[in-house]
Structure 1
């Protein structure tokens, strides 16, 4: 089948991609952009490594991008922790009223504004995690983040095989402690994670332990990637905006057909732009999870283009212990470099999938069911739980239900 690719690799092949570029670039000029997709996006959310820097000195006066917590702000966070613990309420009740941050609240609201209408990412730096217990760190993370996005998404439907709404995930290398053949998500290894998006509006990470070296978080503006494709390869924009065969993560054998990019209607909370939602793993498989849905040559090239353009334009963020990272998951592509764990120092992150109803973007109909499964109350599987002990989500293990 000369026009089809039966199998693609999880890590793209640069030499193969560049060879395809030489073949298809000339004929690509004849293509036009799909209806509703702009020729060029102009926004703070369009940036690359030449126009933005993650050098902390560049952001000392710009708390929207990097907030270095002061002694006074850390004291306010500690007081909020004590206030919440005195209420004797479950962690699911954490919100701006039960975790009050009177001075920090307007700054954290500006961070949400930046995530939705600015650069698309922010970092909160300086939580002294070693001074707190695991449970206290979870309370601080969930409580502070509620001022940025007060709605939390479900990350699993069961906890210890009991139906539940699992609201927090532990991100670390499980492949060395479990049968590595059972791992189906690259986040649960120490290897490279290529550019992708997660599920949900805002993806957040909290660093409980950093690796000895490596493991940098790589961020790329999906809108900068789009501008390059719209200018040089409108045929790939057309491919990305067409339906793709995406295997369901919920039901074996079910294929969902939808685009990977969507036009974003401008509103009070969203600039004129595009929305992007994809993972190469859906088409390549990973570890114990594999499938054989064929892609067209054009689709395979489009996936490669997303990765290699993101790689070209990205900035690297070295996440330190005590950092909280917040990303617009609808516009920012993210990846991770590989890292080694060493005795006594295992990379360990917590993750939340957040939504801010005051700033939330309109979700396309093709994604609405998936988003509802995260955020809608009627999709609940049971009580909200915030596991303190590290474990893989059921979606990250082979033969999970």
Structure 2
């Protein structure tokens, strides 16, 4: 088992970090260039690339960038990628008519786009390379399941990969609104308001793994929210619910009172309108978020009575071959952290085969 008492030397930023990635909601309203809209010609190019891919690979898992040619759209994807990595920490591609396509075609377009950004990695213990974000009736208090498969709201958080992508198929009847926040802007505001509480989050907090336990690890993990190395910030936002449920492990190291105060302030600032930008999904929207600098959330929702109209997003996790250097503390959560490797994702137990489920799973197999 890993030893929770082995501590890394954890340095903190000397003060507010600032920079382009420390945006606030007003900055995004003033500069909407993070939205990249597909033209009719570009949609046709995606359709042609999906059709071409079917002639060269049967299984979407085998689809690579060279199987999905985008001679015109490649320029826009390059700009999108720059937004994700360096300008905003996220980007949107908007306007795919998803209602026109069967599920295999949507999967091919989604995977093909992702292959132009980086390498897809598994996102759960079932080996799913594309996952379904949909309410399948999972109980909110089931500590071995993710909250994404419920209708509950989610606090601001980050996922175990360089970039998390979402594509919207259907929106909810009410609610289910997406929101983003700059982790650097939140850090800097904490540093201004309560520097001692900000620095407390440079020490590891205790987080429930919710049943996804790598071999040799505890069912909980210890990882800082803020990390600083060689003048670079790395952020990790655990779901607030996973901090609370980690208390069920008697043997897990307890967070200090100061850390709990710091966590409360952290989530409070994340949700303030000055920092959080709410972006209602539209069917055909692609959202890509750089997890190290931007955190995401959603509000609770009420779904349509018609099952075919239920709120339904599909998620993909991407490793960036040219991604940033990562602080060693993040290795507690990740599969590999070395720059230039296919890193991040979830450890797959018992060598389960990688797969792409065309439809959401039932609660028994989620």
1:89 maps to: 58
Question: How many angstroms apart in 1 are the aligned matches of 2:240 and 2:110?
Answer: 29
1:165-201 alpha-carbon deviations (Å, 9 max, x no partner): 32111001122xx566547322221121111112111
The answer to whether structure 1 residue 154 and structure 2 residue 114 are counterparts is no
Change in Cα spacing, 1:348 to 1:377, as seen in structure 2 (3 Å) is closer
1:8 maps to: none
How many Å apart are 1:340 and its aligned residue? 0.9
The answer to whether structure 1 residue 281 and structure 2 residue 241 are counterparts is yes
1:298 maps to: 258
User: Map of 1:53-92 to 2, 5 A cutoff?
Assistant: 53=29, 59=32, 62=33, 65-92=34-61
Q: How many residues align?
A: 339
Structure 1: gaps (5+ residues): 1-33, 159-164, 267-271
Whether the 8 Å contact between 2:176 and 2:301 is mirrored in structure 1 is yes
Change in Cα spacing, 1:355 to 1:179, as seen in structure 2 (3 Å) is closer
Instruction: State the SS of the aligned residue for 2:110.
Output: helix
Question: How many angstroms apart in 1 are the aligned matches of 2:344 and 2:287?
Answer: 26
How many Å apart are 1:327 and its aligned residue? 0.5
Whether the 8 Å contact between 1:96 and 1:146 is mirrored in structure 2 is yes
The answer to whether structure 1 residue 309 and structure 2 residue 269 are counterparts is yes
The answer to whether structure 1 residue 263 and structure 2 residue 263 are counterparts is no
User: Map of 1:114-263 to 2, 5 A cutoff?
Assistant: 114-149=83-118, 151-158=119-126, 165-175=127-137, 182=142, 184-248=145-209, 249-250=212-213, 254-263=219-228
Q: CA RMSD for the aligned pairs?
A: 2.7
Change in Cα spacing, 1:236 to 1:369, as seen in structure 2 (3 Å) is closer
How many Å apart are 1:242 and its aligned residue? 1.1
Change in Cα spacing, 1:392 to 1:365, as seen in structure 2 (3 Å) is farther
Whether the 8 Å contact between 1:188 and 1:392 is mirrored in structure 2 is no
1:368 maps to: 331
Whether the 8 Å contact between 1:203 and 1:351 is mirrored in structure 2 is yes
Instruction: State the SS of the aligned residue for 1:325.
Output: strand
Question: How many angstroms apart in 2 are the aligned matches of 1:198 and 1:331?
Answer: 11
Question: How many angstroms apart in 2 are the aligned matches of 1:274 and 1:229?
Answer: 15
Aligned pair partner of 1:350 in 301, 314, 331? 314
Change in Cα spacing, 1:182 to 1:240, as seen in structure 2 (3 Å) is closer
Change in Cα spacing, 1:339 to 1:185, as seen in structure 2 (3 Å) is same
Q: Which of 1 and 2 has greater Rg?
A: 1
1:199-226 alpha-carbon deviations (Å, 9 max, x no partner): 1111110111111232111111111101
2:21 maps to: 45
Whether the 8 Å contact between 2:120 and 2:318 is mirrored in structure 1 is yes
Aligned pair partner of 1:386 in 343, 351, 356? 356
Structure 2: gaps (5+ residues): 1-9
* TM-score, length-scaled by structure 1: 0.77
Whether the 8 Å contact between 2:155 and 2:297 is mirrored in structure 1 is yes
Whether the 8 Å contact between 1:247 and 1:253 is mirrored in structure 2 is no
